[in-house]
Structure 1
Amino acid sequence: MNIFNTPSVLQNFIWQNRMFYIKRDDLLHPFINGNKARKFKGLLELDIKEKILVSYGGNQSNAMLTLSYIARLKNYEFIYVTPPLPEVLKQLPQGNFALALANGVKFEFYKPSDKRSDVDVLRNRAIEISNSYNGFFIPQGGACELSKIGIKDLALELTKDAKNLKNPAFFYVSGSGTSVGYLCNFLPSIFTIAAAGDRKYLQKLFQDMKISQPPTILELNTKIPFGKPDFRLLKIYQEWLELGVEFDLIYDCLGLLSIRENLNYFDGRDIVFIHSGGLSGNITQIQRYKNKKLIP
């Protein structure tokens, strides 16, 4: 099943007095796009016997939403394990949670007996459910071997896109980090930043993945806690909107900020920035900015 508008286009823009080449993976599909479209391409090509997907994670996860669309397309049941909802989301479902709910996701709001909401506890519960239903288990964020298929396609496209560029540097923001790790198997000169974890987390991940040429990991002058509204990210979001491109406020704006603070890494090189998609997440994130009075 191929539903994607591939290859995605490479567009050039001037930002920070530099030419940026944006790989528009946000345009791959109206609902399934960006990093998750690449990651789950292999899943779309599979025929799962029991037609049951099981995964886990946060209630605004981009992976959750993408899996909900895939389940709907392929007429699968999708069970998703997540911590109990905050009261405001119970009363008024919004963002990715509301969209996934509309796609028919069966949520299990799991509260461990020891009152932890640790990711490992959610993972173990999802595995239990998957085993009991003989379902197809997908780790948080789609961090599994299956994602190699779509990432290889991305690498082949980028190789063609960049054939006339000057010593291209490819930038891909890390969530779980697996997509970036797999991309390193197919392309040189990968740069990234840890959105959810930190440098040590990524270094260990790439070591465990046995990546022979790991990416260059950039860091911010002042770290921004994951998902926390920050005026620097908002400024980048607004600047790119004026240029005609919307980026998500959690991942890609963070990546662009890290480039701006580390432009010396890219002297004499063309910058190719791979759009991560996930723009539906901006709905709830923009509301958080409004709550913090960062947006009127």
Structure 2
Amino acid sequence: MNLPSPIQSIFFENKQFYLKRDDLIHADFSGNKARKFHYFLTHSFPHINKVVSYGSAQSNAMYSLSVLAKMKGWVFEYYVDHVADYLQENPHGNYRAALQNGMVLRPAQKTVAELVEGKPDILFIEEGGRQQEAVYGIKILAQEIIAWQRENNIEKLNIFLPSGTGTTALFLQKSLLTLNAQRSTLVYTTPCVGNKAYLKEQFLMLEEDKVFHPTILCLEKKHHFGKLYRENYEIWLKLQQQTGVLFDLLYDPLGWRTLLVYPEVYSKPTLYIHQGGVLGNESMLRRYVRKYPSVMSE
């Protein structure tokens, strides 16, 4: 894998940012999935023959787990509560790629964890990779950032990344505070799935000490995960035009929209973490083009 991932200086909307290109780590394990699953990639599990997880039908974690299982020679079972008829009839994106890797799709059950409990030959992965093993790879991310700060003599740094489960943001803040207590490095995030209260609950499931929790920022208007917003499509296109970087269409537009309304954050040196996930753009872009066909020509 391409580690440490590069950091580049970009200008967006006439403001300078630093961009951590975790999307360039690996085609199959890019961004936060490379960090969350690093432990499983680099350790041996001779007693495991199956990995089980659950989530949405276009999940980035689902695809990366399908690759991990294929590499390790494991069966991969994935539980999902809904697959759209169109997706079943026209497989594409993460869904198609995971199926090609041998994923076995199962109808969702509320007790997926209970199904595998007491079975030592099964590795259970929480939705989105939300578990303690993720610390292993995210700590490496923190070490890379600290080394870059020292090389560039950046004493105070703000870090921003959008969140699903919030695992990356949480363990990054905790690792930075643990490894780099003498420097002022703060992690900011915004909830893309659910609201601020939901994200706080996710943090508490992994870390009870709120000292280690990132700072949560939100837009005033409520945001529904997976819904198509014209503003998200427009800022995604602007990001490509102004930076030349392809971002994820599901999380990054809300991330950048949120960051830009908080000058108290980006007025200091700010590092935005590109968490990959662009394989999922195939399905999202089709939906945006159908709903907002005039945006590309404006």
Scaled by the length of structure 2, the TM-score of the pair is: 0.89
Q: Distance in 2 between matches of 1:57 and 1:206?
A: 18
State the partner residue of 1:210: 208
1:147 is matched by which residue type in structure 2?
A
State the partner residue of 1:258: 258
State the partner residue of 1:287: 286
State the partner residue of 2:148: 161
| Structure 1 residues 192 and 22: CA distance shift in structure 2, 3 A | same
Match of 1:7 among 4, 22, 30: 4
2:237 counterpart SS class: helix
State the partner residue of 1:58: 56
Contact 2:138 2:171 in 1 (8 A): yes
How far the C-alpha of 1:33 sits from its partner, in A, is 0.6
Q: Distance in 1 between matches of 2:51 and 2:118?
A: 11
1:154 is matched by which residue type in structure 2?
L
1:278 is matched by which residue type in structure 2?
G
Bigger proportion of residues as strand: 2
Q: Distance in 2 between matches of 1:130 and 1:92?
A: 35
Match of 1:184 among 155, 164, 173: 173
2:8 counterpart SS class: strand
How do 1:40-119 and structure 2 match up within 5 A? 40-48=37-45, 49-110=47-108
May I ask how many residue pairs the two structures share in their alignment? 281
Contact 2:194 2:224 in 1 (8 A): no
| Structure 1 residues 70 and 130: CA distance shift in structure 2, 3 A | farther
| Structure 1 residues 105 and 133: CA distance shift in structure 2, 3 A | farther
How far the C-alpha of 1:198 sits from its partner, in A, is 1.3
| Structure 1 residues 226 and 75: CA distance shift in structure 2, 3 A | same
2:226 is matched by which residue type in structure 1?
G
| Structure 1 residues 76 and 39: CA distance shift in structure 2, 3 A | same
Contact 1:80 1:105 in 2 (8 A): yes
How far the C-alpha of 1:18 sits from its partner, in A, is 1.3
Which sections of structure 1, spanning at least 5 residues, go unmatched? 113-120
How far the C-alpha of 1:221 sits from its partner, in A, is 2.8
Deviation track 1:229-268 (CA, whole Å, cap 9, x = no partner) reads 112111221112122101111112211110111123332x
Deviation track 1:176-222 (CA, whole Å, cap 9, x = no partner) reads 01221111112231100011021112223334412423212111132
2:255 is matched by which residue type in structure 1?
G
1:10 is matched by which residue type in structure 2?
I
Q: Distance in 1 between matches of 2:93 and 2:117?
A: 26
State the partner residue of 1:115: none
2:21 is matched by which residue type in structure 1?
R
Q: Distance in 2 between matches of 1:109 and 1:210?
A: 32
Contact 1:35 1:277 in 2 (8 A): yes
| Structure 1 residues 82 and 126: CA distance shift in structure 2, 3 A | farther
Contact 2:162 2:252 in 1 (8 A): yes
How far the C-alpha of 1:131 sits from its partner, in A, is 4.9
Q: Distance in 2 between matches of 1:170 and 1:107?
A: 36
State the partner residue of 2:32: 35
2:156 counterpart SS class: coil
2:191 counterpart SS class: coil
Scaled by the length of structure 1, the TM-score of the pair is: 0.89
Match of 1:170 among 129, 152, 159: 159
Q: Which runs of 4+ in 1 moved over 4 A?
A: 129-133
2:70 is matched by which residue type in structure 1?
R
Q: Distance in 2 between matches of 1:18 and 1:228?
A: 28
1:271 is matched by which residue type in structure 2?
T
Q: Is 2:139 aligned against 1:152?
A: yes
Contact 2:79 2:106 in 1 (8 A): yes
1:76 is matched by which residue type in structure 2?
W
State the partner residue of 1:141: 128
Q: Distance in 2 between matches of 1:232 and 1:240?
A: 12
Q: Distance in 1 between matches of 2:265 and 2:67?
A: 38
